[in-house]
Structure formats: C-alpha cells, structure tokens
Amino acid sequence: MHDILDLETYPLDQPDSVAFKALLARCKVDLAAHGMFNLVGFMKPAPIAETLAYALPKFETEAFRHERMHNVYFKKIIPDVPDDSPLYTQFQTSNLTLCGDQVAPTAVTQLYEWQPFVDFLAAVMDRAALYPMDDALARLNVMAYGDGQGLNWHFDRSEFTTTLLLQAPEAGSTFLYRTDLRTADDPNHEGVAKLVRGEDTQVQALDVTPGTLNVFRGVNTPHCVTPAKGPRPRVVTVLTYYETPGAQFSDEERLGFYGRTS
C-alpha cells in the first residue's frame, strides 16, 4: 500500500506507533468538533491517475445515470409532519455511478479491502469492528458529477460516510454542511425547515483537493454538494462499511441506486 497511500504522513500500517496514536487522536477531535475529519493527500497522484484512466471511459458507456427528486430525508412520508410543511421541499440530485464490480481492478478497491484502513476507521468511530459489505454493487461506488450535476441536501441513513476525491471540476462542487442540526432525541423540525428555506446562517462550506479522504458523520448533519461547472467532472469514490458482517442492499435498493440487481 506504500505505492497507493501516503503512509509516512498517515501511518495506518503502524497502529502501535506514536504517530498513529497522534493521528487517531486528531481525527477524533475533528470528528467531535466538526462532524468530520479530512486526510489531505491520503492517496498518491499516480494511483489516482490510474483509477481515472480506468473509470472515466466507463462513465461514457457503462454508468447508471442516477436522477431523483427528493426531500432532505429521502422519505415520501415524514411522521407527524403535515403535508404542507417545508420539510417536504423537493431537491434534485443527479450523477453517474459505477458500482464496485465495475471498478474492481483499481486502487480504490485495494484501499476498500485493506484491513488496516478498516481497523483505523473503526478506531476513530469507537467501534469494536467494521466490515466491508458483502455486496458487489454497493460496497464501493465511483461517482461522476458533470456540468450542472450535484448532490442535494439530505441526511445520510448510515452513521458515517467515507469518501475519497479523485478529480475536482473546474468550478463548483462545494461541500456544504450544517453540523449536528438534529440529534437522536430531537428531530429539530423547525431548524431543518429553516435550512431548506435557505435561512440557516450556520451552514459551512468545504472544498477539498484530489486525494483527500473525508470521513463524515452525516446522519445528523445535513449536507449537499453544489453543482459542478465545466467540462471536467467531479469524480469521487464512496466506501461503505457496516458494524455487522455480510451487509447487503435489497434488490429494491440496488435497482433504485444502480438500475440493476446483480
């Protein structure tokens, strides 16, 4: 993995070292304060270039075009919320998706399956263990956002999301987020309504560079990525892990996200 990752700066292969423990502590502090942490330059330029050379042509011929209108919850019915509530405000999300089976011989797959990386994520999240998905389609995705395409406001279903930026567009694609807008005990519908109306003054913005790993606690922090601008697409890989082994999407979920079930 030394050819793929900057393990001198981020010594994930040395979990007993002082440097690893300092990195772990720093990531936990960032996660608690901001709901995320970033490892800039985590993946080296050469494997990024090789992955893009493999994936970009596939976006032209094999990718699933994911288009949907949705509210911030991705739900048709929000319990105890009247039909005329701003919480039902519709946003558009659009991207091209390659599934795990379409990018198997790339560096992002090697990263996804590398046990020290999985162990590191579990340690940061204070979990006993994390496991890769037993789902050839959903385990990791590589997504492209072309001119005008973006990921709109939403809460994540899973507690945290792990992404690695492979290519930035010429403009746009700014990550916007509102840290801890709700909690497990308080849905804060009034605050969410304020966000979807564009009235929340605590929304923050983040632009990252290719090679940056971003681990984000999105279950209580709504977020979006503004539309890309220009002919060069934003390309990002999403790596999904669970606390239990053998996790899979349902056929309905696979069909909705990827246009196929196997």
**Mutual orientation of helices 115-124 and 18-34 as an angle, nearest 10°?**
50
* Average pLDDT of the segment spanning 99-119: 97
Q: pLDDT tier at 256 (50, 70, 90 boundaries)?
A: confident
Asked if pLDDT for residue 59 goes beyond 90, the answer is yes
The whole-number pLDDT of residue 156 equals: 87
Question: What is the per-residue burial (b if ≥16 Cβ within 10 Å, else e) of 1-29?
Answer: eeebbbbeebbbeeeeeeebeebeeebee
Dist. CA 53–CA 108, nearest whole Å: 13
How much is the mean pLDDT over the chain? 95
Mean pLDDT of 153-177: 93
Within 10 angstroms of residue 164's Cβ, the number of other Cβ atoms is 27
Q: Which of 224, 223, 241 minimizes the C-alpha distance to 160?
A: 241
Q: Of 31-35, 133-137, 148-152, 195-199, which range is least confident? A: 31-35
**In the 8-state DSSP scheme, what is residue 174?**
-
pLDDT in tens, 193-220: 999 999 999 999 999 999 999 999 889 9
Listed by start position, the domains of the chain span 18-258
The answer to whether residue 70 scores a pLDDT higher than 90 is yes
Neighbouring residues of 43: CB distance < 8 A, sequence distance ≥ 6: 4, 5, 6, 107, 111, 164, 211, 213
Q: Which of 242, 23, 49, 16 has the alpha carbon at shortest distance from 129?
A: 242
For 111-133, the pLDDT digits (tens) are 999 999 999 999 999 999 999 99
Quote the pLDDT of residue 157: 79
- How much is the pTM? 0.92
Of 2.60.120.620, 3.40.190.80, 2.60.40.10, 3.40.50.2300, the CATH number of 18-258 is 2.60.120.620
Q: Return the pLDDT at 132.
A: 95
Torsions phi, psi for 69 (to 5 deg): -100, 135
Other CB atoms within 10 A of residue 262 CB: 8
